[in-house]
Structure 1
Amino acid sequence: MIGLLHSKITKKCLLGVLFMLVFYCINVLHVTTNEPQHNLPFFYILSLPLLTSFFLYFKSNSLPAIIIVLACGYFQDKYQALSYLHLLSILLAAGTSTLIYYFLSEKKHANHFWYNSKPLIKISTIIFLNSLMGIFYWQVVTLKLTGEHHYNYTTIRFLVDCMLLCNSCLLGVPFFSFLFSSFQKNKRALRFITSKSFPSTNIKSLYIIFFSASILSSIYLYMYSLNLLTSFLICWYLPLLIWLGVTYSNVLMLPVWLFVSLGTTFELNKSTYGIAISNLSNSADISLFTASVLLVSSCAFIWVTFNTSRISSYVHHLKYISKLEPNTKIPSLLALKEDISRNHYSCLCLINLPEVAPLSHIYGISLRFNFITSLRSYLLAFLHHGEDFYYIQGYGVVITFKQKELNRIDVLNSKIKEFRFIWNNEVKLGLCYGIVYTNFIPEKSQVSVLIGELHKKTTISMQTGTPLLHVPAIEQDKYTMGKIRHRLQQSIDQHAFMLFVQPIVSTKDKKTYYEVLMRMKGGDGEIIFPDTFLPMASNAGLLTDLDMVIIEQTFKFMTNNNACAKQSFSINLMPSTLYNSNFLSKIKALFESYQVNPRRVIFEIIEADVFDIQIVSPLIQELRTLGCRIAIDDFGTGHSSYSRLKALDVDILKIDGSFIRNILVDEFDLHTTKSFYAAAKLKNLDVVAEFVENQKIQDMLTQLGVEWLQGYHTGKPFPIENVSTTNHNF
């Protein structure tokens, strides 16, 4: 490690020496090929920000380069000595201002001009103080030591020089700092530039066209029409450059504006401004105004684009943290979707951890987050480059695999079995888990659906103790779960369920009443049966709403069809409806609103759903007080059926079809049915037998004395609108 560090320092020192030698040669060449001038030389204006960036980047590594260059230029002839003095004054100004900046700023990012830490210190030292010291050292070292006349601080030339040097530092220091850092970290610089995104392809094309046109037109103007580059042209350049800097990147627009401003600086620098401020002339006035516009425009450009960059970095950071689960800082579902859209994975694995939730109830929610964090740290060593670990609350963790190896899942399973989590040095826990994986990687929009499908199958994996492969169906049903859920909500909101009825006929006479059955209409008019949408309604907590809609639709039909004014209808109630505190008040409101006789309504309650008699009994009593009849449906399917029958005051007992189906061949079913019938008669209840499928079953039940029959033999379900008017109330 120490050898590597020394190697980096040595490499940086050698690079600094090479740069300074090249710079010194160019400086000598410039001075020897140009006559000495009393104005601040243009090369000096360009060199100050360049060497300031050099000090900022190389820091103490720049000392060998400075010593060698100063030693080489000590003994020179007249012109070469002048170049040496130029270099000395630049080094003194840049070095002094950089030292002051290092002393006042944060040491961590002091060498990086693009960080936004302490911008006031940065601008005051690296820009303004640096410019003033540059003029001072140039005046002291160059003018006095060469015997030139004293530099007058009350002339227009001094003001123009100050503004030109400030403008050069303001634009040059950040630009050259980026070049220095890009030279060592070229890949990072390339990512920084290419990471900027355009709103559209048209904007990108416009940017390329304008960028190229700006460079070409500027070169043409400097070569053939330098006098056109005045404050007028600057005012036209500035808004376009600011717009492109905001839209794309100030890093790419900075060279264009730097080129424009340096060209203007070169043009202004050719004039002699030895005019006192009290004796302003037109040319001096124009030069001073142009330099002022140049500096103010550069300040505006830097301020706007740098603040835009800061906002962009904040937005980028917010996007980054939005993809992390807030408590564990682990990539979430959003990050998984983004990674799947960008990368090619061969396998996606879901690990469900059902025991984490109850453990967090005991030890606190911090256990959950520490558990997941520890598991991630443990498994990351197993993952290859480009693979990751994601935490999706409520579902578990997801792991993506890039390399398709058959034993990866088995190795993962064994590693998870070996994992132990220690909590507060007191509790040592293993994992109860289920693993389901798939080689089908969906599109970004279908990731959530796939996660739900994998989560459903983790129960099987937990039961078998082995990872389970999930293979999605090649052809999906016409109605996916999402579409059915949408259709269910729509049917509830619009009261748009299809009502069917099945007749329940009397064995004593021709009386009939009807059980209301619900269906849902699909988008193409097909019928969706309850076994498809009822589980979804239960998961969504919509069963009570569903019941109330069916009751209201039934009441509406009973009110609007006078021909069926004497017909009675039996309506099923879901368990959640029984325990809803507002159910009775809603039922009373519906009876009053539709003016339905409560004696025409029977409510069916499934016997197995009556798990709290103390709550259900008062509800039943209230409904019977209104005049409604109560039927116990599917009797015999629950435990303690007789004890519930004894405790509940109801009117009708419906024997479950599982006892009726084989009554002709199964002695147990026959005797059980007789037992149910006898118990019902002890409480003076009417008895309904379900699943009457043929005449022989009908005859057997009639012989036993059962009063009411329901089944395909006595009548199949049909739309409620087709209820015959010849039937009578029982």
Structure 2
Amino acid sequence: MRKTFCYRRFSTRWWGLPLLLPLILMPVSGHFSARLQLAEGYVYLIYLPLAMMVAMLMVFDWAALPGICVALLFRYFPLISPPQALTLSVLFLIAICISWAGYRLHARNRWGVGFGELSMAPIRLFWLAFFLPTLMLILLQMVVTLGVLPEASTLFSRDPFTIRTLINFQALLLSCVSLLQVYYWLIRIVKNPRFAAILWQRLQRQMAEDVTFRELFCWGVLMTVMLGILTHFRLDRENLLTSDYTLTLLLPLMLWAAMRFGHLLTSLSWSLILIALYQFREQFIDLQTQLQHLAIISSNLLVFTVTIFLMAAIGTHQRRVIIKAKRAALTDPVIGLPNLRALSADLAARAHSTICFLRIPELDLLSRTYGLQLRIQYKRCLAGHLRPFMQPGEEVYQLPGFDLALRLDSAAPLVRVEEISARLKNYRLTWDGLPLQPSVGLSFCSVRPPISHLHELLGELSAMAEVSLNSGLPENLQQGGIPVQRKVKDKLAMLHEVQFALDNDKFVLLAQRIQGLRGDDYHEILLRMVDTHGEQLKPQVFLPVVHEFGMSWEIDRWVLEQTLSFMDQQRAALPAARFAVNLFASTICRPHLAKEIGAMLQRCNIEPWQLIIEVEESHMLSDLTWGNRSINQLRELGCPVAIDDFGTGYASYTRLREIQADILKIDGSFVRNILSSSLDYHIIESICCVARLRRMKVVAEFVESEDIAAALRKMGVDYLQGYAVSLPQLLVSLAPAAGEKINP
């Protein structure tokens, strides 16, 4: 521990590592700086000491200045006279101090942010990569022009407007743009060796998610081949591959790395490539070349460097933004819990999961009483109450409205679900000193990926959680042994069949005659559906799906339009025909149903008394609902209304006092056993008596024999319907030209 403390102190104080490192790095940087001796004088292709000094400031701030000053003196005192060495060192320090002060003032507390940060790129490019070399050029040019320093000891000549000056200036720019980052990382690792592991982690994070080892290997092989051609292969001078033109082929390879591998790997590899190119420059740079050609090569590499680094920074920034956006998209911004997308992703990533659905409908009333903040706080606290019980990787998910979902990894879900249920019952939230404990419905099911219908599955769980609110027990969606995902899949498949039938007129209308004992017969419209395989399906197969997914009105409207259109077309042959059409209870509850049906009747020029509306009695048809209002409006319009399947479900004698109707249809379950069950006989007899008091006509369904028909006639039933009276037949067969009958 003491050794670590001493090293930390040594690595931060000006007399320690900031003083020692420049003395080591300055001669190394001078050795690797590429310099050419030409007839006009020597020129630098890349000048590394300047990048090293700036990197020292990037790591140690102003504490690096003493070490930089000593390193400059040690570098120039053996080469030139002491006054000239001192003058040159002072010029370097002035330029470095002014540039660093401007950078610190502009960057403020973000001056030490790591490389690759796109928002800091313009500031660093200006102060450290452009302003500093430019200021160095101006200061050195001034002292050379004034004769303070000889031309041989500096990078510049007396005439500032020469190709040699331009090449040396580009060398300073290229060094500050490309090698600054390499020196920075090297110095940081020396200061804190653990920074190497941090760099490795950053390098991995910056790569695109779909980058593979094969892609990296291919890029590395291509880059190695290109460097080998440029630096080692001895080919004829006239060969295009050994010319400086081959340098341009490096750009697409580096842009590939910039867009795929991240800023860190791209900038590090390109910086090392530049050093290698200049160390083996004899292969592609002719020592007898003209200065203009050399200036073009240097400017191209400078432009390449800026382009590659900016593209790498932009690509890395875009990936970082996309990752943040994806993470934000998986979390509800208000509640702070993972959302439905996160649930879908987690289910897809696990081989087996158990979904628990929590329904808390009382939160609606509590939210209206105490405000929306109550709902938010309740869900947050409930999630916190459940998390200690959950295993690593399991989570609570926010769902719209007043619901939550849990995902469990347990191999014995029933036991854990019961424990969760017990924990839910013990939870209460104290709000303004008042303990609140709303009821929570809990349903669950086990699933395996792939889960292609998650929203529909959650809808099924929501319905079961509603049942749990009444039973007080967790409800299993998989009761009966049928896999829940298969049930949902079958429902969606049937939904697609229904939609296909609607779009392509694949529904078939049948008509069954209802015999009136006074000779006033009419027909009931029956619906069948032809699926994509050509099979005809009965209503009990597809109508539950129609009702569940809210397609009731689409189906009822299609039946009404087709029936009225048939009546209009056969007006001459069937002038007084009457047809009864069954409508869903949800359709009856449409506020403007009577107006819509009235418009259809008027469009087809059909009298209202020719259309009988059959309604299956439901709890929705109470005295104060739109359902009962629609019935009254239809009767005022002139359409008779029949209550279907009376005696089962919600139908009762109490309902007869609330609902005004013209026809009462006795459910077939009573009619079928009328000869063998005295109870059913008396029930039908009492229904007929009540109907007479209400001035309603009675229809008996499922009349399957003549004996049953005779018994019903004696009771005073007005209409008979069943196989003993008539079999269902195609609606179009009622036209005079057709007479084909089909089996039901």
User: Fold match, TM over 0.5?
Assistant: yes
**What do you get for the CA RMSD once the two structures are aligned?**
5.1
CA contact (8 A) 2:227 2:277 kept: no
SS at 1:316 equivalent? helix
CA contact (8 A) 1:341 1:443 kept: yes
CA contact (8 A) 1:48 1:134 kept: no
Residue 498 of structure 1 is aligned with which of 508, 519, 534? Answer: 508
Q: Residues 234-280 of structure 1: CA distance to partner in whole angstroms, max 9, x if unpaired?
A: 444335533552355344333454345445656889999xxxxxxxx
The structural deviation recorded for 1:655 is 2.9
The residue number in structure 2 matching 1:258 is: 271
Query: Which of 640-649 and 238-247 deviates more?
Result: 640-649
Q: How does 1:669-708 map to 2 (within 5 A)?
A: 669-682=680-693, 684-708=695-719
| Structure 2 Cα separation of the partners of residues 529 and 173 of structure 1 | 78
CA contact (8 A) 1:502 1:514 kept: yes
Q: Residues 348-401 of structure 1: CA distance to partner in whole angstroms, max 9, x if unpaired?
A: 433333332332233333332332233334444444443333212257323334
SS at 1:445 equivalent? coil
The residue number in structure 1 matching 2:109 is: 107
| Structure 2 Cα separation of the partners of residues 31 and 244 of structure 1 | 29
Residue 167 of structure 1 is aligned with which of 167, 174, 178? Answer: 174
Could you say if the C-alpha distance between residues 257 and 539 of structure 1 is closer, same or farther in structure 2, counting changes exceeding 3 Å? same
The residue number in structure 1 matching 2:495 is: 485
Q: How does 1:422-441 map to 2 (within 5 A)?
A: 422-423=430-431, 425-441=432-448
SS at 1:104 equivalent? helix
Query: Which of 153-162 and 224-233 deviates more?
Result: 224-233
| Structure 2 Cα separation of the partners of residues 209 and 680 of structure 1 | 88
The structural deviation recorded for 1:183 is 0.8
Q: Residues 82-109 of structure 1: CA distance to partner in whole angstroms, max 9, x if unpaired?
A: 9x99999989876775565344314256
Query: Which one-letter code corresponds to 1:197 in the other structure?
Result: D
The structural deviation recorded for 1:720 is 3.4
CA contact (8 A) 1:175 1:255 kept: yes
| Structure 2 Cα separation of the partners of residues 249 and 476 of structure 1 | 44
The residue number in structure 2 matching 1:123 is: 125
The residue number in structure 2 matching 1:278 is: none
Could you say if the C-alpha distance between residues 263 and 657 of structure 1 is closer, same or farther in structure 2, counting changes exceeding 3 Å? same
Could you say if the C-alpha distance between residues 39 and 468 of structure 1 is closer, same or farther in structure 2, counting changes exceeding 3 Å? farther
Could you say if the C-alpha distance between residues 53 and 567 of structure 1 is closer, same or farther in structure 2, counting changes exceeding 3 Å? same
The residue number in structure 1 matching 2:319 is: 312
| Structure 1 Cα separation of the partners of residues 257 and 75 of structure 2 | 49
SS at 1:518 equivalent? strand
Could you say if the C-alpha distance between residues 271 and 724 of structure 1 is closer, same or farther in structure 2, counting changes exceeding 3 Å? closer
Q: How does 1:271-290 map to 2 (within 5 A)?
A: 283-290=290-297
Query: Which one-letter code corresponds to 1:611 in the other structure?
Result: S
The structural deviation recorded for 1:121 is 2.4
The structural deviation recorded for 1:614 is 9.0
SS at 1:217 equivalent? helix
CA contact (8 A) 1:353 1:432 kept: yes
State whether structure 2 residue 251 is matched by structure 1 residue 249: no
Query: Which of 172-181 and 635-644 deviates more?
Result: 635-644
Q: Residues 63-85 of structure 1: CA distance to partner in whole angstroms, max 9, x if unpaired?
A: 9xx76996999799958999x99
The structural deviation recorded for 1:550 is 0.8
Number of corresponding residues: 707
| Structure 1 Cα separation of the partners of residues 176 and 596 of structure 2 | 78
| Structure 1 Cα separation of the partners of residues 692 and 645 of structure 2 | 17
The structural deviation recorded for 1:455 is 3.1
Query: Which of 213-222 and 152-161 deviates more?
Result: 152-161
Query: Which one-letter code corresponds to 2:403 in the other structure?
Result: G
Query: Which one-letter code corresponds to 2:498 in the other structure?
Result: L
State whether structure 2 residue 246 is matched by structure 1 residue 209: no
| Structure 1 Cα separation of the partners of residues 246 and 358 of structure 2 | 64
The residue number in structure 2 matching 1:197 is: 210
CA contact (8 A) 2:675 2:708 kept: yes
State whether structure 2 residue 624 is matched by structure 1 residue 631: no
Query: Which one-letter code corresponds to 2:334 in the other structure?
Result: N
Q: Residues 147-199 of structure 1: CA distance to partner in whole angstroms, max 9, x if unpaired?
A: 9746646444443222212112212234555675761414522432444435x
State whether structure 2 residue 526 is matched by structure 1 residue 517: yes
Query: Which one-letter code corresponds to 1:289 in the other structure?
Result: I
Query: Which of 551-560 and 138-147 deviates more?
Result: 138-147
The structural deviation recorded for 1:436 is 3.4
Query: Which one-letter code corresponds to 2:447 in the other structure?
Result: F
CA contact (8 A) 2:44 2:167 kept: no
SS at 1:117 equivalent? helix
| Structure 2 Cα separation of the partners of residues 478 and 470 of structure 1 | 11
State whether structure 2 residue 663 is matched by structure 1 residue 652: yes
Query: Which of 321-330 and 639-648 deviates more?
Result: 639-648
CA contact (8 A) 1:621 1:649 kept: yes
Normalising by structure 1, what TM-score?
0.79
| Structure 1 Cα separation of the partners of residues 446 and 643 of structure 2 | 49
| Structure 2 Cα separation of the partners of residues 515 and 7 of structure 1 | 98
CA contact (8 A) 2:508 2:527 kept: yes
The residue number in structure 2 matching 1:277 is: none
Could you say if the C-alpha distance between residues 5 and 451 of structure 1 is closer, same or farther in structure 2, counting changes exceeding 3 Å? farther
CA contact (8 A) 1:102 1:110 kept: no
Query: Which one-letter code corresponds to 1:545 in the other structure?
Result: E
The residue number in structure 1 matching 2:424 is: 416
CA contact (8 A) 2:439 2:469 kept: yes
CA contact (8 A) 1:113 1:174 kept: yes
CA contact (8 A) 1:52 1:95 kept: no
Percent of paired sites with the same residue: 24
The structural deviation recorded for 1:331 is 1.9
Q: Residues 127-156 of structure 1: CA distance to partner in whole angstroms, max 9, x if unpaired?
A: 223435667999999999999746646444
The residue number in structure 2 matching 1:276 is: none
| Structure 1 Cα separation of the partners of residues 32 and 271 of structure 2 | 25
State whether structure 2 residue 594 is matched by structure 1 residue 584: yes
| Structure 2 Cα separation of the partners of residues 318 and 546 of structure 1 | 42
